[in-house]
Amino acid sequence: MDSEDFQLAEEYFAFAIELAKKVGPMIRDAFYSEKEILTKSCTTDLVTETDQNVEKTILEAIKNSYPKHDFIGEESVAGGLKCNLTDAPTWIVDPIDGTTNFVHRFPYVAVCIGFVWKKERLFGVVYNPILNEMFTAFKGKGANLNDKKLKVSKEQDLGKSMIMTECGSSRDPKHLDKIFKNMQSVISAPVHAIHSLGSAACNICMVAQGGAEAYYEFGIHCWDYCAAGIIVEEAGGVVIDTQGGELDLMRRRIIAANNMSVAKSLSNVIVEQMELPRD
């Protein structure tokens, strides 16, 4: 990508930060209010009117300012739009990552805005308006939490690591069996602990700020980890496939870790590799 494209991307990055700030109050106000709760794929896959309104606000702002850009959003895809990643400038958005947390007023929720151009992830914005935490990163320029530079943990030993993961929304017994087998294998590696924040983006950002060494999960979507993935990389970490290879953004599985040593060690103790329909 040439310097002119990077300059344009920096403009889009500033726009994304302001956009996250704009929708933050919508999420924060609704967080403390009564909500109408709907479901999507199953009774534990929740969506609220706020998810839909926030995505609509973001989509309209992007289309008004950059009408030739592509858009992949969680609620738009749930509504029937195709999830198609091309070489075009593409915004990948989760209006509220951690909707179940949002419903229960557990304060780990975030609007996630990632940007991909020519299939290269260029920047990410993850904003938790409840805790007033703005995570940002632009390729090659480092990552920040508000005005503070982020740096991952220096730990090299999986056995001394804190691992983040989730059970996900699926309650299919076969799926859960694989999830729990993996958790049992990871905790028995051993590691110090397995924790869950209920949000893929918040889990990954916890790795980026050094509060955990790694995160892994199967079954999530590109909008869950596109933005956060570049934040952990720019904080000095890595993102890879759960089998140890290069991350495929549309494959719905990820390891995000503080370094490649921990990432590879974690991939080696994941006993149930899961192939899911691609985004």
CATH number of 158-269: 3.40.190.80
152 contacts 131 by C-beta, under 8 angstroms: no
Active site residue 279: no
Distance, in Å, from the CA atom of 81 to the CA atom of 77, rounded to the nearest integer, reads 5
Which part of the chain has CATH 3.40.190.80?
158-269
Question: In this structure, what token pair is assigned to residue 189?
Answer: 């590696």
Distance, in Å, from the CA atom of 269 to the CA atom of 254, rounded to the nearest integer, reads 14
Active site residue 97: yes
Residue pLDDT, tens place only, 38-57: 888 777 788 899 999 999 99
Distance, in Å, from the CA atom of 158 to the CA atom of 134, rounded to the nearest integer, reads 28
Q: Which of 55, 75, 94, 217 is catalytic?
A: 94
Distance, in Å, from the CA atom of 148 to the CA atom of 44, rounded to the nearest integer, reads 36
Active site residue 224: yes
Active site residue 51: no
Active site residue 246: no
Q: Percent of the chain, pLDDT > 90?
A: 90
Q: Which of 55, 75, 97, 155 is catalytic?
A: 97
pLDDT at residue number 39: 85
Active site residue 5: no
Which part of the chain has CATH 3.30.540.10?
3-149
Q: How many CB atoms lie within 10 A of CB 272?
A: 15
Examine the pLDDT at 6 and tell me if it is beyond 90. no
* Domain 3-149 sits in CATH 3.30.540.10: yes
Q: Looking at the whole model, is its pTM more than 0.85?
A: yes
pLDDT at residue number 57: 98
Distance, in Å, from the CA atom of 182 to the CA atom of 217, rounded to the nearest integer, reads 10
156 contacts 259 by C-beta, under 8 angstroms: yes
Residue pLDDT, tens place only, 153-212: 999 999 999 999 999 999 999 999 999 999 999 999 999 999 999 999 999 999 999 999
Question: Tokens 């609509």 — which residue?
Answer: 56
Q: Which of 74, 155, 213, 233 is catalytic?
A: 74
The residues near 262 (Cβ < 8 Å, ≥ 6 apart) are 155, 156, 157, 158, 161, 213, 214
pLDDT at residue number 42: 79
**CA distances in angstroms from 250 to 20, 144, 226, 276, listed in the order given:** 23, 26, 10, 10
